[in-house]
Amino acid sequence: MTGISCHLDIEYAQIPGFRPLELDLYLPDPAARASPGPVPVVVHVHGGGWLRGSRRHPLPALGDGFYRGLAAAGLAVAAIDYRLSGEARYPAAVDDVRAAVAWVRAALPGYGAIPGPVVLWGDSAGGHLALLAALTGTAVDGSVDGVVAWFPVTDLTSVHGPDDDDPQTREALFLGAPPSLVPELARAASPLTHVHAGAPPVLLLHGDSDTLVPPDQSIRFAQALQDAGGTVSLVLVPGASHFWDGADDVPGIVAQSASFAASLVPLEV
């Protein structure tokens, strides 16, 4: 695909005792942009139940050209890796997402792009991390201008039953113990707990037939954020399950998400 530049394997953070954390950066061609000014930036957080996946493997429904397509449409994309639950427990992955946001704001000018609105965009567990990082971030450690979350987990306390003490669930591995045994930790790790009026605008998209992460996770979060005075849009995609299986128009979902990211106004940081 022409009109973009790609910078792979950029180290955005070093945490003692862990592997270096890396991202891939996709930039639109300045000559192809409508304006020479700041460029909207997507920090993309992959899914995988907090225990698998990587920046090199977006959802199969999106195809191999997903990041390059966003860049060709005028968005800068930082596709990040973060520490998985087999490497480090909560809040490590959230800290990594915030570190990636801070890197983007500080380092992007060195790649010839002035960051405009910075948007966290994630799916499933990545959507959870994007929401949590955005809701708890500050100007010092990773504030963002908006969030796109696809079928995210928003309440770790309600994913399983109150008596479920299986230590091998995705949520238990992420927290270090089953949510039922560490309810305060599970609440702290839930975006639903952190809704507030000053939250960045959120676009939620969720399949209405999702059985892996029920749409109620997004419905309750959207209502809570609205009640708190925040700005949120919720789209339930008819017939779609997790990973957008069964969705009639995945390109349309991507286009809607990209338009949201490009429409935001950057904060003064």
Write out the residue range of the structural domain in which residue 229 sits: 4-155+190-263
Does residue 42 lie within any of the structural domains?
yes
Q: What is the pLDDT of residue 138?
A: 67
Kindly report, residue by residue over 94-134, the tens digit of the pLDDT.
999 999 999 999 999 999 999 999 999 999 999 999 999 99
Kindly report, residue by residue over 62-93, the tens digit of the pLDDT.
998 999 999 999 999 999 999 999 999 999 99
Q: How far is CA 72 from CA 7, 34, 35, 66, 108, in A?
A: 15, 12, 14, 10, 17
Q: What is the pLDDT of residue 94?
A: 97
Kindly report, residue by residue over 123-180, the tens digit of the pLDDT.
999 999 999 999 998 656 669 999 999 999 999 999 887 777 899 999 999 999 999 9
Q: What is the pLDDT of residue 30?
A: 73
CB atoms within 10 A of CB 228: 14
Kindly report, residue by residue over 218-258, the tens digit of the pLDDT.
999 999 999 999 999 999 999 999 999 999 999 999 999 99
Does residue 40 lie within any of the structural domains?
yes
Output the CA torsion sign for 83, 84, 90, 93: positive
Query: Minimal CA–CA distance to 42: which of 101, 103, 106?
Result: 101
Residue 84: half-sphere exposure toward Cβ, Cα within 13 Å:
13
Confidence band of 265 (pLDDT split at 50, 70, 90): confident
Does residue 183 lie within any of the structural domains?
no
Does residue 172 lie within any of the structural domains?
no
Kindly report, residue by residue over 13-55, the tens digit of the pLDDT.
999 999 999 999 999 987 655 556 899 999 999 999 999 999 9
Does residue 52 lie within any of the structural domains?
yes
Q: Is 37 left (phi over 0), alpha (psi -120 to 50) or beta?
A: beta
> How many domains is the chain partitioned into structurally?
1
Q: What is the pLDDT of residue 163?
A: 72
Q: List, in sequence order, every residue forming a beta bridge with 233; answer none if it has no partner.
A: 203
CATH number of the structural domain spanning residue 251: 3.40.50.1820
Percentage of the chain exceeding pLDDT 90: 88
Does residue 173 lie within any of the structural domains?
no
Does residue 111 lie within any of the structural domains?
yes
Q: What is the pLDDT of residue 36?
A: 66
Does residue 97 lie within any of the structural domains?
yes
Q: What is the pLDDT of residue 75?
A: 97
The two structure tokens encoding residue 203: 């676009």
